[in-house]
Amino acid sequence: MMTLMPPPSPLLQRVTADRIIDLRYTVLRAGFPRETAHFDGDDADTTLHVAAVLGDHVVGCATYMRQPYLDEPAYRLRGMATDPTWRGTGLGRKLLDLTDTLMQSDPIRLRWCNARVPAVGFYLKQGWLVVSDEFDIPTAGPHHRMIRRVPPRADSGW
């Protein structure tokens, strides 16, 4: 009798921006110049990049950049992307959980993003709130602004 092995799981890890540019470009910026997958602030010391890596391939990524929301200190989620074959598998949630873990000692609890309309449902399931009407970003289509307040961990001292 043959035993089927489960498919391998991607390794979730902190990475540098250059490691995730290919996936960002393919999923978020196809049809535009490749350099549009690079964001101002990618190389800042306060920016956090995470990826889901399977072998040599990045199959999911997310970036948080320190950028105020209105006048409040916050982190902006940018460039979150999942390879289409991995959508619906829980990988995006795991990437957001990883960022929460890596940022747990940071006193800044507010997160915000400009979410593409098709991704709003995903973010709602992760505890984000829609705080704007729909608006258009000419190079990326219709979006909603969303926010999330990350609760402090009980043992974090915050």
| Confidence check: pLDDT of 153 > 90 | no
Q: What is the pLDDT of residues 1-15, one digit of tens each?
A: 666 666 678 999 999
Q: Which residues contact 149 (CB under 8 A, 6 or more apart)?
A: 109, 110, 111
Domain segments of the chain as ranges: 11-149
The pLDDT value given to residue 69: 97
Quick one: DSSP state of residue 37? Answer: G
Listed ranges 34-38, 60-64, 136-140; the one with the highest mean pLDDT: 60-64
Q: What is the pLDDT of residues 103-126, one digit of tens each?
A: 999 999 999 999 999 999 999 999
Smallest CA-to-CA distance from 23 within 93, 79, 89, 105 is with: 79
| Confidence check: pLDDT of 158 > 90 | no
Of the candidate CATH numbers 3.40.630.30, 3.20.20.60, 3.90.220.20, 3.40.50.2000, the domain formed by 11-149 belongs to 3.40.630.30
Q: What are phi and psi of 103, to 5 degrees?
A: -105, 10
Q: What is the pLDDT of residues 65-111, one digit of tens each?
A: 999 999 999 999 999 999 999 999 999 999 999 999 999 999 999 99
51 in Cβ contact with 61 (< 8 Å): yes
Could you give the CA distance from residue 93 to residue 70 in angstroms, rounded to a whole number?
26
